[in-house]
Chain A
Amino acid sequence: MVETRSTLRIPARAAYVGTARIFAAAVARQSGVGEEHVDDLKLAISEACAAGVREDGDGAIVVHAVLDGSALSFEVSGQDIPPPPSDDFVSTPESFRRSVGYDVIRSLYPDASFPSKGSAAIRFSISNAS
């Protein structure tokens, strides 16, 4: 089975998050993901990219999509995507917003993984691509 990779690199600015949604939806449709799953994917990508947006707009957010057999995986990485805040450390509106965003991704894709030591990426996969 041939592995297919697609990559989008956008500035870490809020105005570009919509571009990432369009990219992810296009990759999913091309990979045979059912239309009923595309809205969930756009939501997860939007939440992940929002976590990588920087106030100063410096840096980039990179969205990797890998189709391997029937599994379509996404990885969103960026310079400043932080780990999920711990429950007792949701101290600012920004960390609260990010916490809700991560919860949304986790709810949509229970296999999602989030930045931790040694990794600055959010990853999740869809298993029903044809």
Chain B
Amino acid sequence: MDLTLEVRTENDTPILEVGGEVDIYTAPKLREKLVELIDGGSDRIVVDLEQVGFMDSTGLGSLVAGLKRIRERDGELAIVCTREPILKVLAITGLDRVFPVHDSVGNALG
């Protein structure tokens, strides 16, 4: 399954909806989209992973790259995810303590 990336805006915050599979092949596209949003001036981004069927550590690497870049601007990057396999890889890598992880876009925007 290919990666899909769609951006919508809610409360002036870009919501990056990610779908499909994020691995060593598709992760660079996720990274590029995050860089595009951040360099375009977004200092607060919500990454919605609810439609992601698979993500490995290379996908998480793209999220970390985005987080580092946005923090250089004192910005923040939040994740929306309730999918157990993805929460598991976040926990294994310890990144669940690095990213704010929310169960809905509404709560992420809270």
Contacts and interface: CB of A to CB of B under 8 A. Distances in A.
Contacts of B5: none
A103 B92 contact: yes
Nearest to B55: A43
Main secondary structure of the interface of A (DSSP, over half): helix
A35 to B, nearest CB: 11
A104 B93 contact: yes
B61 A100 contact: yes
Given A15-B25, A50-B23, A104 B89 contact: yes
A104 B25 contact: no
A28 interface: no
Contact of A43 (B1, B24, B56, B61): B56
Contacts of A100: 57, 60-61, 93
Contacts of B21: 18
Contacts of A101: 56-58
A97 B56 contact: no
Contacts of B25: 14-15, 17-18
A46 B21 CA distance: 11
Interface in B6-45: 21, 23-25
Contacts of A97: 57-58, 61
A61 B56 CA distance: 18
Interface in A21-59: 21, 39-40, 42-43, 46-47, 49-50, 53
A107 interface: yes
B93 A50 contact: no
A21 B54 contact: yes
A50 B88 CA distance: 19
B85 interface: yes
Interface of A: 14-15, 17-18, 21, 39-40, 42-43, 46-47, 49-50, 53, 97, 100-101, 103-104, 107-108
Given A42-B54, A43-B88, A100-B61, 10 more contacts: A14-B24, A14-B25, A18-B21, A39-B88, A43-B54, A47-B56, A50-B58, A101-B57, A104-B57, A107-B92
